[in-house]
């Protein structure tokens, strides 16, 4: 593991990183930053929690800051003395032309990346960060684009602004695609290619993805110039500070009883409870409120301003429990989240890694608890195959499943948990698309008889529609090359 001071970063960036409390770089940062600072295109396979955001922001910010400093020095040396006289015409309107663009699949992730960029740019005055995402007023976002240096955006809204000639890509030297596999799953392939081709020819491209299936490889081949591929193994990406625990459940009501037991008996600072559907989020949040707990819910059918307010309340500690669909899995970075609960198993193994990555951040301890219906065993098998770890099953006295577990998981031992359960740490074995009129969040909930309540909450994304009905989910197959990360 390298120290940030060894990476030859711009002094402003190094000071900002140290102010944020970081001294050591993670594996993905150590391997990506020097290469990207040298101008090479890079393809990176890395999961959430590995430090990948700083891995692409730091080298891009470094290059832009160095270029601005050289330009400022040259301009100062050559600038003539100002002429006195009457005021001339106001300069003509100049179309916004960012130096770098970061593409993200979801609004929450885009806002999180932009916030980290603002922190990392530190005291640099001539450096503006802007965000363009769906669900927010066009006029305000267009005004914020003026003099932008780094733009973080979701594809749908950015392609709209580009076609309306509200932004120019003539000065884009850096193009970053974060979670490229997700953007392709959401149907953004054509938009990404259009946006990328609109940039100048000598742009540098960085692509980050949990996996690199054939469709992502085809996109990379068309966008990148002899990229270096860096792969971080998923088993090494899961934070070793996270204790993973499993409870078998007879059905939905049993899952809820297990969840309520944990919430009422465990020592929890803040937590995120992941559920399959929007209706689940609202119903469970209502039941927890009736128990007097500090709780709110978050899902893709809510208006963006409401979602932003909800996340802000979580970050400020105004709420203790957030019940959410996967729309929140990639947009939360709150160090005080001590627990993550999964009511059911996500259909994509990668989503499990993203979910539990909300806890155990910044070197803190974290606990991830999953309540699994027996019929979802194949989904659990896919997760365990993906992370190369068998999650230990636990039983709470008085809340035992009526059926026998489908596998002989040992019980007891390890750390004591509420109700006598025990957990085990990882061992050595081991956005949803933005709101858009054209896409998925305009589809109604098909899992329940009623729609989620409230203005702007009628819609949801594809993954949120899915209930925990059993379906075979196959794990992604990775390359045999392995590398460690933190």
Nearest to 138 by CA among 154, 112, 160, 168: 160
First to last CA, the chain: 9
Tell me the pLDDT tens digit for each residue of 255-293: 999 999 999 999 999 999 999 999 999 999 999 999 999
Tell me the pLDDT tens digit for each residue of 191-239: 999 999 999 888 999 999 877 888 889 999 889 999 999 988 665 567 7
Cβ neighbour number for residue 153 with a 10 Å cutoff: 28
What is the reported pLDDT for 51? 83
Listing DSSP states for 248-304 in one string gives EESSHHHHHHHHHHHHHHS--SEEEEE-SSHHHHHHHHHHHHHTT--EEEE-TTS-H
Packing angle of the helix pair 214-223, 189-197 (nearest 10 deg): 10
| Percent of the chain with pLDDT strictly greater than 90 | 48
Structure tokens at 196: 């990328």
Tell me the pLDDT tens digit for each residue of 74-91: 665 555 555 555 555 555
CATH architecture for segment(s) 238-387: 3-Layer(aba) Sandwich (3.40)
What is the reported pLDDT for 424? 39
| pLDDT at residue 29 tops 80 | yes
Summarize the confidence of residues 30-46 as an average pLDDT. 94
| pLDDT at residue 420 tops 50 | no
Summarize the confidence of residues 308-334 as an average pLDDT. 85
The phi-psi region of residue 280 (left if phi > 0; otherwise alpha if psi is between -120 and 50; otherwise beta) is: alpha
| pLDDT at residue 132 tops 70 | yes
Phi/psi of residue 359, each to 5°? -115, 175
| Domain residue ranges of the chain, discontinuous segments joined by + | 2-71+94-233, 238-387
Whole-angstrom distance, CA of residue 254 vs CA of residue 228? 48
Whole-angstrom distance, CA of residue 317 vs CA of residue 405? 38
What is the reported pLDDT for 124? 80
Are 223 and 193 in contact by the 8 Å Cβ rule? The answer is: yes
CATH architecture for segment(s) 2-71+94-233: 3-Layer(aba) Sandwich (3.40)
Summarize the confidence of residues 141-167 as an average pLDDT. 93
pTM of the shown model = 0.62
**Do 2-71+94-233 and 238-387 have matching folds?**
yes
| pLDDT at residue 399 tops 90 | yes
Instruction: Assign 136 a pLDDT band (cuts: 50, 70, 90).
Output: confident
Whole-angstrom distance, CA of residue 326 vs CA of residue 185? 14
Q: Tell me which H or E stretch contains 321.
A: strand 321-324
Nearest to 182 by CA among 477, 440, 360, 456: 440
Whole-angstrom distance, CA of residue 285 vs CA of residue 324? 9
Tell me the pLDDT tens digit for each residue of 327-382: 766 667 788 999 999 999 998 887 898 899 889 877 789 999 999 999 999 999 99
Instruction: Assign 441 a pLDDT band (cuts: 50, 70, 90).
Output: very low
Helix (H, G, I), strand (E, B) or coil at 124: coil
Question: Considering the chain, what is the average pLDDT of its residues?
Answer: 80
Structure tokens at 451: 């729609």
């Amino acid at each position: 593991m390298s120290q940030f001071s060894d990476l030859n970063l711009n002094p402003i960036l190094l000071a900002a990183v140290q102010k944020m409390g970081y001294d050591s770089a993670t594996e993905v940062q150590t391997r990506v930053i020097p290469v990207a600072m040298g101008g090479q295109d890079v393809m990176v396979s890395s999961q959430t929690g590995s430090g990948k955001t700083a891995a692409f922001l730091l080298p891009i910010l470094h290059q832009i800051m160095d270029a601005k400093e050289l330009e400022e020095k040259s301009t100062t040396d050559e600038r003539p003395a100002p002429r006195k006289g009457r005021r001339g015409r106001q300069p003509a309107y100049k179309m916004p032309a960012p130096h770098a663009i970061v593409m993200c699949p979801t609004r929450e992730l885009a806002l999180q990346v932009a916030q980290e960029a603002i922190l990392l740019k530190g005291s640099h005055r001539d450096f503006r960060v802007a965000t363009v995402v769906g669900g927010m007023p066009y006029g305000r976002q267009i005004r914020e684009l003026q003099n932008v240096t780094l733009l973080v955006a979701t594809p749908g809204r950015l392609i709209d602004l580009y076609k309306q000639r509200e932004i120019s890509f003539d000065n884009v030297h850096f193009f970053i695609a974060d979670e490229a596999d997700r953007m392709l799953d959401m149907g953004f392939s054509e938009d990404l290619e259009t946006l990328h081709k609109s940039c100048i020819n000598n742009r540098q491209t960085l692509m980050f993805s949990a996996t690199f299936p054939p469709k992502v490889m085809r996109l990379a081949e068309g966008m990148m110039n002899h990229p270096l591929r860096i792969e971080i193994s998923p088993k090494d990406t899961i934070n070793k500070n996270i204790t993973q625990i499993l409870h078998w459940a007879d059905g939905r009501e049993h899952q809820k009883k297990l969840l309520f037991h944990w919430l009422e008996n465990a020592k929890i600072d803040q937590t995120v409870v992941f559920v399959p559907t929007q209706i689940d989020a609202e119903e469970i949040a209502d039941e927890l409120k009736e128990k007097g707990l500090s709780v709110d819910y978050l899902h893709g059918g809510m208006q963006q301003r409401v979602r932003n307010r909800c996340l802000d309340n979580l970050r400020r500690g105004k709420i203790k429990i957030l019940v959410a669909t996967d729309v929140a899995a990639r947009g939360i970075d709150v160090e005080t989240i001590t627990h993550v609960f999964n009511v059911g198993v996500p259909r994509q193994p990668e989503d499990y890694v993203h979910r539990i990555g909300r806890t155990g951040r910044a070197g803190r301890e974290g606990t991830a608890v999953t309540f699994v219906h027996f019929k979802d065993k194949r989904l659990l098998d896919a997760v365990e195959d993906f992370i190369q770890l068998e999650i230990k099953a636990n039983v709470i006295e008085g809340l035992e499943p009526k059926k026998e577990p489908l596998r002989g998981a040992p019980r007891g031992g390890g750390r004591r948990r509420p109700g006598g359960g025990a957990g085990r740490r990882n061992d050595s074995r081991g956005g949803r698309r933005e709101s858009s009129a054209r896409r998925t969040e305009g589809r109604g909930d098909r899992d329940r008889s009623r729609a989620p309540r409230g203005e702007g909450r009628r819609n949801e994304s594809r993954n949120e529609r899915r209930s925990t009905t059993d379906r075979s989910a196959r794990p992604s197959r990775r390359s045999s090359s392995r590398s460690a990360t933190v």
